[in-house]
Structure 1
Amino acid sequence: MLLDTKWVLYGIKPMIIAVIVQALWKLGKKAVKNNLTGLGAIAAVIGYFIGWDEIIILLGVGLGVMIIQLRGKVIGGWFSLSPLVAQTVVGDNITSPSPLNVFLFFLKVGCFLYGSGYVLLAFLERTLVEQNQWLTSQELLDAIAIGQFTPGPILTTATFIGYLLAGNLGAITATFGLFLPSFILVLIINPWVDKLRKSPVTSALLDGINAASVGLMVGVAFILAREALIDPITVVMGIGALILILRYQINSIWLIVGGGMLGLVLSTIS
């Protein structure tokens, strides 16, 4: 049974990479509107591999695009965001994955998750895998694979990771921490939504943050692809899945199921 599970995940992981690349392609076409946002996305990729904090990348690129796009005509109050961000970043070296620490981590992520659910993977890979070493890249991929079988797959992956880190209470605190900021934010900004949409300052800032989101997705897609595409078979599976999902618009759930079945077939002939 353990062997079967191993081979099922072996077949599913290349499919996940294809799904992430498809999401990246769709978001990229909308987010990279011009040369400026394209440069912002490239800057985010570079920042990700240098090791900068994802929140700093999102806001840094967002503010940079806003300043350049508005040619420096930016209200000074926007720059007061910087110390606020510094205060909200949870320490990089958390001692243990207790339910409280799991809650604080996902609360931070929930405050700044923007652009696509797949941007969550950048936060997870950098903090949980590289910095705190609560998970391995392989375990993160396993969690993503399991999440693909649920509605809202990437966000419910957070619930599963919370369970891995701190049991049932960890699953609850991870979910609560991730979604709590969005509910509060909606209540606060709802009266000003129309004005924010029409504001050239807000529009330029969001253009930059969208571009940074694409850059973060490129970075994490590369990291996860190294773990999933481990031999010629998985490379061919990943390329084939990408062709199916981009060219023929195959539903991702069928790719996941098919990948798992193919993994089982390979287990019988290996």
Structure 2
Amino acid sequence: MKEINYNSLSIREKVERQKEIIKVFLRLGFFAFGGPAAHIAMMEEEIINKRKWINHDKFMDLIGATNLIPGPNSTEIAIFIGHHRGGILGLFLAGISFIIPAMGITLLFAIAYVKYGSIPQVESLFYGMKSVIIAIILQALLRLGKSVIKNKLYLVFGLIITGLSLLGIREIPLLLMSGLVIMVILNRENIYNKFFSFSIMPLSLIFLTFLKIGAVLYGSGYVLLAFLEAEFIKKVGVLTNQQLIDAVAVGQFTPGPVFTTATFIGYLLGNTLGAVLATIGIFIPSFLLVIIINPIIPRLRKSIWVSSMLDGINIASLSLMAVVTFKLGIASLIDGLSIFIFAISLFAIMKYKISSFWLIIGGSIIGWISSLI
């Protein structure tokens, strides 16, 4: 089905699209627990399979592109999709709608933390949810794999990248290596012909610090801890190690982008305004970067060199997602009940196409009930 150009739509049709963008990404923002891999899996289900806004190839190109620019990957994918569906306004609506729920929930936890000195105990809710999330990610991996793994070479190289990641090799070197190797292999004849024939802190400082982090941090939100430690503990000493650990923990178990850890720290350092400025600071580079590189991505596919490199990057992206799934599985599938929830969730998704949103709610309820028994 040919995509209708957004600019050719009537005002009424544009408004309907913007409403749909807000609805979809608010929903994702409230229910996308589990970090970037889970966010991507839920976007794949909602955006590609349910609404068919883009195809799998385009989605994988977006994942590959966001892995090569700084900032929170899943948020940048949301921003990309918003731009594709609703132009510049859609870009901002998608990003803001995805961020706001997580920011609000994180802010509530920060307020409770300051008032009571600890994080509210909600672990039982997430016990069952974790198993569901593993099933959601695994199903997305299988579907995306059909688009990315185009031949035996791609499969073998994907397995190699997976193994290297499990051995501890960092994400960015693997992405670049995969892209370059696939580009060289697929263009070896061209290469041969070419080369051989020839508050506590000032509010302004809170904002600027998080702006810097958002502009230079590569990879997923899980790399955020090292940056925060360097800036707020080692450099200026305004946070304790325990406060940093608690802030990252809240960012991990709340829905939406892990980068809303910035909201928590911003509140600790500068109250509500500090929370808002920190959140804006860390996310605004993502909006700007997407605006800059979004028009470039389709052109890249027209070059046989860059297109093959994108294929390699996509293989590495899928492999890294597989490693995250494996590690999450080891951490989350810890007993018979969690394994049972995972198996039932995977069966429900694969066989009956049940929405991941309902499965997450169901997993949370089962986890809560099990804590009472």
Q: Which runs of 5+ in 2 are unaligned?
A: 1-118, 193-205, 230-240, 268-274
| Alignment correspondent of 1:14 | 131
Counting aligned pairs with the same residue, the percent is 31
Q: Which runs of 5+ in 1 are unaligned?
A: 76-97, 113-119, 148-155
Supply the distance in 2 between the matched residues of 1:72 and 1:165 (Cα, whole angstroms).
53
Deviations 1:101-147 (A, max 9, x none): 544444345xx6xxxxxxx6xx333x24689778769x66x645532
Supply the distance in 2 between the matched residues of 1:20 and 1:51 (Cα, whole angstroms).
21
| Alignment correspondent of 1:227 | 331
TM-score by length of 1: 0.70
Where 2:346 maps in the other structure, the secondary structure is: helix
Q: CA deviation at 1:217?
A: 0.3
Larger Rg: 2
Decide whether aligned partners of structure 1 residues 57 and 8 sit closer, same or farther in structure 2, where only a CA change above 3 A counts.
same
TM-score by length of 2: 0.52
Q: CA deviation at 1:180?
A: 2.7
1:157 to 248, 257, 265: 257
Decide whether aligned partners of structure 1 residues 175 and 73 sit closer, same or farther in structure 2, where only a CA change above 3 A counts.
same
Supply the distance in 2 between the matched residues of 1:232 and 1:136 (Cα, whole angstroms).
29
| Alignment correspondent of 1:89 | none
Supply the distance in 2 between the matched residues of 1:161 and 1:132 (Cα, whole angstroms).
10
| Alignment correspondent of 1:170 | 278
| Alignment correspondent of 1:249 | 353
Q: CA deviation at 1:48?
A: 1.7
| Alignment correspondent of 2:254 | 146
Where 1:250 maps in the other structure, the secondary structure is: coil
Amino acid paired to 1:25: L
Moved more, 258-267 or 174-183: 174-183
Deviations 1:154-176 (A, max 9, x none): xx323423324444133222322
Q: CA deviation at 1:228?
A: 1.6
Decide whether aligned partners of structure 1 residues 104 and 241 sit closer, same or farther in structure 2, where only a CA change above 3 A counts.
farther
Residues 1:236 and 2:340 are matched in the alignment: yes
Larger RCO: 1 or 2 (CA < 8 Å, sep 6+): 1
Where 1:230 maps in the other structure, the secondary structure is: coil
| Alignment correspondent of 2:313 | 209
| Alignment correspondent of 2:372 | 268
Q: CA deviation at 1:56?
A: 1.6
Aligned CA RMSD, in angstroms, stands at 3.3
Supply the distance in 2 between the matched residues of 1:42 and 1:130 (Cα, whole angstroms).
28
Q: CA deviation at 1:15?
A: 1.1
